[in-house]
């Protein structure tokens, strides 16, 4: 593609970043705005009704619709459409899942030093662009990088109000193992109870319980 601009669909429920993306695209010589929507649920409709080259996809969109779930559908149905995940959430599993889906780029709204337009250009030139590490956040006396993968998996269920027995059934381990993971996280953070741990973890966005996690 030389003279024709790449057509971009924005899927973002927050007004400020959506307007910023729209501004960057409208002033770009390489990109044109094809649409701007608040819910990932309407992404497929847009892709069916008009040409789309690139999607800027938020993870948590209007109505609780998950952008990663929609990205997976789009990649299966429209494999030529490139996708960049844009998020402010430090949830540790997002980068790994985006890679599994085949998403071409990942961009943190608040902390990424690379301008979004620059990332878009690189992706459209065939590059795969991801941050080296997940965004870290402070939680109690520590930060999110100090938790192990297994601890974060347990913490995700703790924020959803699951008991040790319920978590153990979902993770196929003994309740004692779950209890030990929680004790280790309490020691790292300095929190006194699992309730405080759950509240602070939920507030920080370090883990977010998925719909699929809620059922066995």
User: 183: domain CATH number?
Assistant: 1.10.10.10
What range does the domain containing 209 cover?
138-214
pTM of the model: 0.78
Whether residue 55 sits in one domain with residue 13 = yes
What are φ and ψ of residue 36, in 5° steps?
-145, 115
Please indicate, yes or no, if residue 144 is contained in any of the structural domains.
Answer: yes
Name residue 169's beta-bridge partners.
Answer: none
Whether residue 85 sits in one domain with residue 12 = yes
Q: What length does the chain have?
A: 216
**pLDDT, tens digit, 9 for 90 and up, residues 171-211:** 999 999 999 999 999 999 999 999 999 999 888 888 877 65
**pLDDT, tens digit, 9 for 90 and up, residues 99-143:** 999 999 999 887 666 789 999 999 999 999 998 877 788 899 998
In the chain, the number of structural domains is: 2
Helix axes 67-77, 93-101, angle to 10 degrees: 10
Give the whole-angstrom CA distance, residue 216 versus residue 210.
12
Whether residue 119 sits in one domain with residue 142 = no
């Amino acid at each position: 593609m030389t003279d024709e601009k790449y057509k971009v669909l924005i899927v973002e429920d927050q007004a400020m970043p959506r307007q910023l993306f729209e501004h960057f695209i409208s002033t770009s010589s390489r990109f044109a705005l094809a649409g701007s929507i608040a819910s990932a649920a309407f992404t497929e409709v847009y892709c069916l009704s008009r040409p789309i080259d690139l999607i800027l996809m938020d993870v948590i969109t209007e109505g609780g619709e998950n952008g990663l779930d929609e990205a997976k559908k789009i990649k299966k149905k429209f494999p030529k459409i490139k996708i960049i995940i844009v998020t402010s959430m430090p949830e540790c599993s997002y980068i790994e899942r985006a890679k599994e889906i085949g998403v071409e780029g990942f961009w943190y709204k608040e902390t990424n030093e690379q301008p979004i337009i620059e990332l878009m250009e690189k992706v459209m030139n065939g590059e795969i662009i991801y941050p080296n590490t997940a965004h870290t956040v402070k939680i109690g006396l520590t930060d999110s990088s100090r938790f192990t993968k297994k601890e974060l998996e347990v913490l995700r269920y703790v924020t959803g109000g699951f008991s040790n027995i319920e978590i153990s059934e979902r993770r196929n381990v003994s309740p004692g193992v779950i209890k030990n993971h929680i004790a280790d996280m309490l020691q790292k953070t300095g929190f006194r109870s699992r309730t405080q741990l759950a509240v602070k973890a939920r507030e920080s966005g370090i883990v977010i319980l998925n719909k699929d996690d809620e059922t066995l």
